[in-house]
Chains A and B, each alone.
Chain A
Amino acid sequence: MSTAVAAEFDPTGPLVASGNLRRRRAVNRFAEAIATGAALLAVAVLAIMVGAVAVRGAAALNLDFLTHAPRVPGEVGGGIAPAIVGTAIIVGVATLVAMPLGVLVALYLTEFAPPRVAGPIRLTLDLLNGLPSIVIGLFVFGLLVSGRHQSGFAGAVCLAIIMVPLIARSSQEMLLLVPRPMRDAADALGVRRWRTVLTVVLPAAAGGIVTGTVLAIARAAGETAPLIFTTSIFADKTSFDVFGTALPNIPTEIYTLSQQDDPTGITKAWGAALVLVVFILLTNIAARALLARSQRRLTQ
């Protein structure tokens, strides 16, 4: 048997596929093709979805849509200005809460925590990250809304809970990128660790931390489930009262508009969706550009 194989193999023959190499090459091509297909499908899903939103939303989009409050269903015109302002406020408050917390958690993990403690905390953050947002919504509903009233603040707390693990994990990755020798240099100069962290490590990682935060904002801005619990019963007018009343916001607005009997409602829902998608895509792209720049600066 082995002699037969050896006899077939002719080292001086032309260099084309022979024996089972032909089959191996076919399997290889097939595997490559389905992997490429899967990748194309993923891109296509995003393209089709964004395309559909763009095509349908564009019909609703005009300056009035962005700057006016909604009208009574059935009336022509009206926009989603209160929802845009509301989302900005809710996400803004959530960021104010989540960013310092997330960055401090990341600092603890990279600079202070012994490895035995850091592991479980990282796991906790990953679990928190995977928590269904509706559970977070229910939790905050029980904590801040039940027995009281809905508020923009309650919604912001939900989004902050979603953002903290995202910011902590991405900041941690960026802090780990700060070269070890830079910390050694600071240590060798006899300066306290905390001052080193504040004046050497954080500035070096600042770009990446901001990027992580922007990505977290993009993620939180589209969260709907927790907002339905906490800030969905609102008046259709622009409000800045974070604690007092539920604030209009784009995700809930999309849902409400799509449920109206009025046929223009669904068009407006597409318009609001387009506004949201454009915001999220732009922040994502900006964040990644920022990240690329800060990484270049660190590894230079």
Chain B
Amino acid sequence: MTELAGAQAPSALPPPPRMRIVADGAPATRAAGRDGAAAQADREIVFDLRDVTVRYGAKPAIAHITLPIQRNVVTAIIGPSGCGKSTFLRCLNRMNDSIPGFSISGQVLYHGHDLYAAGVDRVEVRRRIGMVFQKPNPFAKSIYDNVAWAARNLGLKEALDDRVERALRGAALWDEVKDRLKASALGLSGGQQQRLCIARAIAIEPDALLLDEPASALDPIATAAIEELMHTLKRRYTIVIVTHNMQQAARVADRTAFFSLDPTSAEPVGALVEYDDTQTIFTNPADSRTRDYVSGRFG
């Protein structure tokens, strides 16, 4: 798969023609700009957000987001604090539903199905779209039971040991914990706990994986392990990652969306500024706000 070198991308490559996703939601077809991008162009769209606005009570959090997310790539959401990155992510598996006053307009299509249509069971939604949170949140159970818990409760009880091993290997944790599967998960280090949470999420073989700043509470070594993992995981899963760490986005993501507060709005509300190949966002962004942000001039 594509290995990104972030801002140090070879300048020998011609600047790729790019696709700007504009607010009216007409994605233009784009030509391949670099290694692997050709394949991406016609990747299936997994999440298709159309003019999505989210409010908490009367206060809008994000407005008019139109954003298609492709299969088997890592899509990063970057932007300053408070611009609705997490709100956006939590719309994709309906984790916002339980927040009082939450309302959404526009459409969030997942494989063509409206996630917020009547009759959609949000428990089923979350069974297909896994999530890893900012802070590692293992259950107060053994390592094995953490991974096996969801499978057991969803009736996937056959060959449970294999399933647990597969998930732990998938999360690059197996070698570290295989001799102490019965030990409490709370005894693991922060980085191990976060990888355990990833293992727990992939143990039920979801279709997509949402990661909400998964490395923000971790040290650089654990962060590197998680990032490494993402390159492997995207072969199997569609990954959306929220991060406030631009270098991380540059390292792991194939596509990057930059969110910021909308200056044209009276209230502070998050808006999508630019969405493009990660390389483009970091080397040749179309919007001056993106350029300022990725070069560290604000945020």
Residues of chain A whose beta carbon lies under 8 Å from any beta carbon of chain B: 115, 179, 181-182, 184-192, 195-196, 199-200, 203-204, 297-298, 300
Query: A188 touching B140 by the CB < 8 A rule?
Result: no
Q: Could you jot down 14 A-B contacts, CB within 8 Å?
A: A181-B133, A184-B137, A185-B133, A185-B138, A186-B139, A187-B126, A189-B127, A189-B204, A190-B126, A190-B150, A191-B127, A195-B153, A196-B153, A200-B141
Query: Which of A179, A186, A297 is packed against the most chain B CB atoms within 10 Å?
Result: A186
Query: B154 touching A190 by the CB < 8 A rule?
Result: yes
Chain A residues within 8 Å of B206, by CB: 190
Query: B200 touching A187 by the CB < 8 A rule?
Result: no
Query: B125 touching A190 by the CB < 8 A rule?
Result: yes
* Residue in B100, B133, B186 whose CB lies within 8 Å of A184: B133
* Residue in B126, B135, B139, B154 whose CB lies within 8 Å of A188: B126
Distance between Cα atoms of A189 and B149 in the complex (Å): 9
Distance between Cα atoms of A204 and B185 in the complex (Å): 13
Given contacts A185-B200, A190-B124, 10 further A-B contacts (CB under 8 A): A187-B98, A188-B93, A188-B130, A188-B133, A190-B126, A190-B128, A190-B154, A192-B153, A200-B149, A204-B139
Residues of chain B whose beta carbon lies under 8 Å from any beta carbon of chain A: 93, 95, 98, 100, 123-128, 130-131, 133, 135, 137-141, 149-150, 153-154, 186, 197, 200-201, 204, 206
Residue of B nearest to A180 (CB): B137
Chain B residues within 8 Å of A188, by CB: 93, 95, 126, 130-131, 133, 201
Query: A179 touching B127 by the CB < 8 A rule?
Result: no
Question: In angstroms, how far is the closest chain A Cβ from the Cβ of B253?
Answer: 21
Question: In angstroms, how far is the closest chain A Cβ from the Cβ of B187?
Answer: 9
* Residue in B127, B133, B140, B201 whose CB lies within 8 Å of A203: B140
Residue of B nearest to A196 (CB): B153
Query: B139 touching A190 by the CB < 8 A rule?
Result: no
Query: B127 touching A185 by the CB < 8 A rule?
Result: no
Distance between Cα atoms of A152 and B125 in the complex (Å): 52
Question: In angstroms, how far is the closest chain B Cβ from the Cβ of A136?
Answer: 37
Question: In angstroms, how far is the closest chain B Cβ from the Cβ of A295?
Answer: 12
Chain B residues within 8 Å of A204, by CB: 139-140
Chain B residues within 8 Å of A181, by CB: 133, 135, 137
Residue of B nearest to A297 (CB): B140
Chain A residues within 8 Å of B93, by CB: 188
Query: A182 touching B137 by the CB < 8 A rule?
Result: yes
* Residue in A189, A192, A196, A203 whose CB lies within 8 Å of B200: A189
Distance between Cα atoms of A158 and B90 in the complex (Å): 48
Residue of A nearest to B146 (CB): A185
Which 6 pairs between the two chains have the least Cβ-Cβ distance?
A190-B127, A181-B137, A188-B131, A189-B150, A190-B126, A191-B153
Distance between Cα atoms of A199 and B145 in the complex (Å): 11
Distance between Cα atoms of A195 and B135 in the complex (Å): 23
Question: In angstroms, how far is the closest chain B Cβ from the Cβ of A196?
Answer: 8
* Residue in B125, B186, B197 whose CB lies within 8 Å of A185: B197
Chain A residues within 8 Å of B140, by CB: 182, 203-204, 297-298
Question: In angstroms, how far is the closest chain A Cβ from the Cβ of B54?
Answer: 18
Question: In angstroms, how far is the closest chain B Cβ from the Cβ of A116?
Answer: 11
Contact A300 to B197, CB < 8 A, known contacts A190-B124, A195-B153, A200-B149: no
Chain A residues within 8 Å of B137, by CB: 179, 181-182, 184-185
Query: A190 touching B133 by the CB < 8 A rule?
Result: no
Chain B residues within 8 Å of A298, by CB: 140
Query: B95 touching A191 by the CB < 8 A rule?
Result: no
Contact A182 to B125, CB < 8 A, known contacts A188-B131, A189-B150: no
Residue of A nearest to B187 (CB): A300
Query: Which of B98, B130, B133, B140 is packed against the most chain A CB atoms within 10 Å?
Result: B140
Question: In angstroms, how far is the closest chain A Cβ from the Cβ of B259?
Answer: 22
Query: Which of B125, B153, B206 is packed against the most chain A CB atoms within 10 Å?
Result: B153
Query: A191 touching B150 by the CB < 8 A rule?
Result: yes
* Residue in B139, B150, B186, B201 whose CB lies within 8 Å of A300: B186
Distance between Cα atoms of A190 and B156 in the complex (Å): 13
Distance between Cα atoms of A179 and B135 in the complex (Å): 12
Query: B139 touching A185 by the CB < 8 A rule?
Result: yes
Chain A residues within 8 Å of B128, by CB: 190
Chain A residues within 8 Å of B100, by CB: 115
Residue of A nearest to B140 (CB): A204
Question: In angstroms, how far is the closest chain B Cβ from the Cβ of A222?
Answer: 34
Question: In angstroms, how far is the closest chain B Cβ from the Cβ of A190?
Answer: 3
Distance between Cα atoms of A184 and B127 in the complex (Å): 13
* Residue in A115, A185, A192, A199 whose CB lies within 8 Å of B123: A192
Chain B residues within 8 Å of A179, by CB: 137
Distance between Cα atoms of A200 and B149 in the complex (Å): 9
Question: In angstroms, how far is the closest chain A Cβ from the Cβ of B109?
Answer: 19
Chain A residues within 8 Å of B125, by CB: 190
Contact A190 to B149, CB < 8 A, known contacts A181-B133, A182-B140, A184-B95: no
Distance between Cα atoms of A181 and B98 in the complex (Å): 13
Question: In angstroms, how far is the closest chain B Cβ from the Cβ of A176?
Answer: 15
* Residue in A115, A182, A187, A199 whose CB lies within 8 Å of B153: A199
Chain B residues within 8 Å of A297, by CB: 140
Residue of A nearest to B135 (CB): A181
